[in-house]
Amino acid sequence: MRHEPVLVVIAHGSRDPRHAATVHALVRRVRSLRPGVRVELGFLDFNIPSVRGVLESLAAEGVRDVVALPLLLTRAFHAKADIPAVLREAPRRLRIRQAEVLGPSPLLLDALERRLYEAGLTPADKSSTGVVLASAGSTDPEAIAVIAEIAREWRHTGWCAVRPAFASASLPRTEDAVRELRGLGCERVAVAPYVLAPGFLPDRIARGAAEADVLAGVLGPAPEVARVLLERYDGARPAMQAAVGA
């Protein structure tokens, strides 16, 4: 009998208890969508269990195959450096394949719109509403370029305008993007946090949205986000099977 690889979701972690609670809720949704797959959660920092501890426990149980999935929206420092470093230190008996990060994905745009509609907008409001796509920010040019491209793509789905903004490391800030959209003549302005869980930077985004008409919630355990996790898991499995059979 062939066993499916264990899915290990790797979250950053935070001192803010809302972060871990939201990530756990997302993992529960993933488990409900794919009950035949074992899903574990590990944190890089601040919270337990640690990624290292999860991997050591799996190895001690005799698990062989693992798909490690970074709970990240862009390929920035954590996906390129931190997570590979942790995985290299895993027990040698484990065969680990690192899955792609979550973004970009059309499903994430669906999740963003879900949160905007939950915050009070309707599809009829799109043509008269400017949206700030507010992300955490990064010093990685690749990550910044991805956010800008997502904003351009999202604009073509019918919004009055879409502008990217960043809570740290990059410009513009959320409040500046809100004012820009006001200046463009958008009837209303909404802020859509492109973040997975509450915390310090999402709170900064919320403060920057003070002059907006609508502030959506974080992506959190939206069903579309859970589906993206499973898409990334499924994408890593064929590569893992090919490597094993080589």
Write the pLDDT tens digit of every residue in 7-44.
Answer: 999 999 999 999 999 999 999 999 999 999 999 999 99
β-pair partners for 98: 68
Could you count the other beta carbons within 10 Å of the beta carbon of residue 84?
A: 14
pLDDT at 117 over 90: yes
At CA 186, angle to CA 184 and CA 191, rounded to 5? 105
Residue 56: exposure state from Cβ atoms within 10 A (0-12, 13-18, ≥19): middle
> Mind listing the pLDDT tens digit for each residue in 74-92?
988 778 889 999 999 999 9
What distance, in Å, lies between the first and last C-alpha atoms of the chain? 20
pLDDT of residue 78: 76
Distance CA 238, CA 244 (A): 10
Q: Are 104 and 180 in contact (CB under 8 A)?
A: no
Q: Which two tokens mark 108?
A: 């994430």
Q: How many residues does the chain have?
A: 246
Query: Nearest-CA neighbor of 206 among 171, 240, 165?
Result: 165
Query: Nearest-CA neighbor of 82 among 35, 56, 43, 28?
Result: 43
Question: Which bin fits 11, alpha (ψ -120 to 50), beta or left (φ > 0)?
Answer: beta
Split at pLDDT 50, 70, 90, the class of 246 is very low
What pTM did the predictor assign?
A: 0.95
High-pLDDT (> 70) share of the chain, %: 96
Longest dimension (CA), the chain: 62
pLDDT of residue 141: 92
Q: Is the peptide bond before 5 cis (omega within 30 degrees of 0)?
A: no
